[in-house]
Amino acid sequence: MAPQEESTEEAMGSEQKPISTILIIIAMQTEALPLVTKFQLSKDTDSLFPKGVPWVRYHGIYKDLHVNIIWPGKDILLGVDSVGTISASLVTYASIQALKPDLIINAGTAGGFKAKGACIGDVFLASDVAFHDRRIPIPVFDQYGIGARKTFSTPNLLKELNLKVGKLSTGDSLDMSPHDEASIVANDATIKDMEGAAVAYVADLLSVPSIFVKAVTDIVDGDKPTAEEFLQNLVAVTAALDQAVTQVVDFINGKCLSQL
C-alpha cells in the first residue's frame, strides 16, 4: 500500500475513535488554576519540556480523558505570565510533540467588539482565526502574514452549549493601534486575543484539530481604557470561561472527533 493511502486511513481512523488525550493551552495562571482544581490535575514533577523553560503542565484523568493543561508559565526575567504568540507557539509545538493529543483547546480571555455583538462575560467559540499585526504588503506574503484559517468544525458541540460564535483576530498587543484596527475590521473579527492564531498555525502544521474558547473581559470599541477594564473583569470573566471549558470537556468525553 502506498504511504499516502496509509496515512489517509490512519487519519480517518482517528476521527472514529473516542477522543483520548486533550491539550488545553491557557496563557494566564488566573485562567488556568480554577480548571486545574476542577479537573483535579497534578503539576508535572518530571517536566516533558527542556530544562530551564517556565512552561508548566498539569495533567490527570478526568472521566475517560487524559487531560493536560499547559500554561507557558511566568517570564523568567520579569515574573509575569508569558502571554502572546511566541510562547503560545513554542508550548503548542513542544506539547504536541510530547503528548500527541487528539484535540487542542486554546482557552483564554479576549477583547470583544460591541459593534459585532460582544458583551462582557460572553464566551465565544471561534469559527476562524487570523493575525492582525503581521502586515506584509507583497502579493501572497500578505495572505501568509494574515494567516487566516477555519477552526475545527464542531456543529454538535455548538448546538448543545450556549456559546456565541465569531471570528478571532490575534496580535501581540493588548491595545489596538489604528493599523491593527483596520486589519481586525478586514478580518471581520468579533473578538481579539494574543494567542489564538499562533496556536492554530502550529496545530495545523502538525495536523492536530484545534478549537478556541474565549471569554470577553473588555470592550475594545467601548469608552473604558482596555488595560483597566481587562484587570477589573479578569477574575469574574475567568469563572465564566472555566465553566464553559468544563462544559466543552464534558461534551467531548466519550465522543469521536467526527461527533463534535
In contact, 213 and 245? CB cutoff 8 Å: yes
Cβ 217 to ligand ADE, closest distance in Å? 5
Query: Candidates 52-60, 141-149, 153-161, 215-223 — which segment interacts with ligand ADE by CB under 6 A?
Result: 215-223
Residues in 145-184 that interact with ligand ADE by CB under 6 A:
174
Nearest-CB residue for ligand ADE: 111
- Dihedral pair phi/psi, residue 77, rounded to 5°: -85, -40
Query: Candidates 84-92, 116-124, 152-160, 189-197 — which segment interacts with ligand ADE by CB under 6 A?
Result: 189-197
C-alpha cell belonging to residue 247: 462544559
Using rule CB under 6 A, residue 110 touches ligand ADE:
yes
Per the rule left: phi > 0, alpha: psi between -120 and 50, beta: everything else, 43 is: beta
Query: Candidates 62-70, 108-116, 126-134, 249-257 — which segment interacts with ligand ADE by CB under 6 A?
Result: 108-116
Contacting residue, 133, 180, 193, 242, with ligand ADE by CB under 6 A:
193
Inter-CA distances, 259 with 100, 143, 152, Å: 20, 32, 12
Residues in 31-60 that interact with ligand ADE by CB under 6 A:
none
3-state secondary structure of 212: strand
Q: Which of 193, 210, 224 is nearest to 112 (CA)?
A: 193
For residues 48 and 174, which CB has a smaller minimum distance to ligand ADE in the complex?
Answer: 174
Rounded-to-integer distance, Cα 66 and Cα 258, Å:
19
Residues binding ligand ADE: number (CB under 6 A): 12
In contact, 191 and 216? CB cutoff 8 Å: yes
For residues 101 and 112, which CB has a smaller minimum distance to ligand ADE in the complex?
Answer: 112
Query: Candidates 11-19, 54-62, 186-194, 197-205 — which segment interacts with ligand ADE by CB under 6 A?
Result: 186-194
Q: Which of 102, 112, 86, 111 is nearest to 197 (CA)?
A: 86
Contacting residue, 194, 199, 248, 249, with ligand ADE by CB under 6 A:
194
Q: Say how many CA atoms lie within 13 Å of 143 toward its Cβ.
A: 3
Q: Which of 95, 49, 116, 84 is nearest to 206 (CA)?
A: 95
Cβ 2 to ligand ADE, closest distance in Å? 45
Contacting residue, 93, 152, 230, 251, with ligand ADE by CB under 6 A:
230
Rounded-to-integer distance, Cα 45 and Cα 157, Å:
34
Using rule CB under 6 A, residue 102 touches ligand ADE:
no
Cβ 159 to ligand ADE, closest distance in Å? 27
Using rule CB under 6 A, residue 218 touches ligand ADE:
yes
Q: Say how many CA atoms lie within 13 Å of 44 toward its Cβ.
A: 19
Using rule CB under 6 A, residue 217 touches ligand ADE:
yes
Q: Say how many CA atoms lie within 13 Å of 245 toward its Cβ.
A: 34
Cβ 234 to ligand ADE, closest distance in Å? 8
Site of interaction with ligand ADE (CB under 6 A): 109-111, 174, 192-194, 217-218, 220, 226, 230
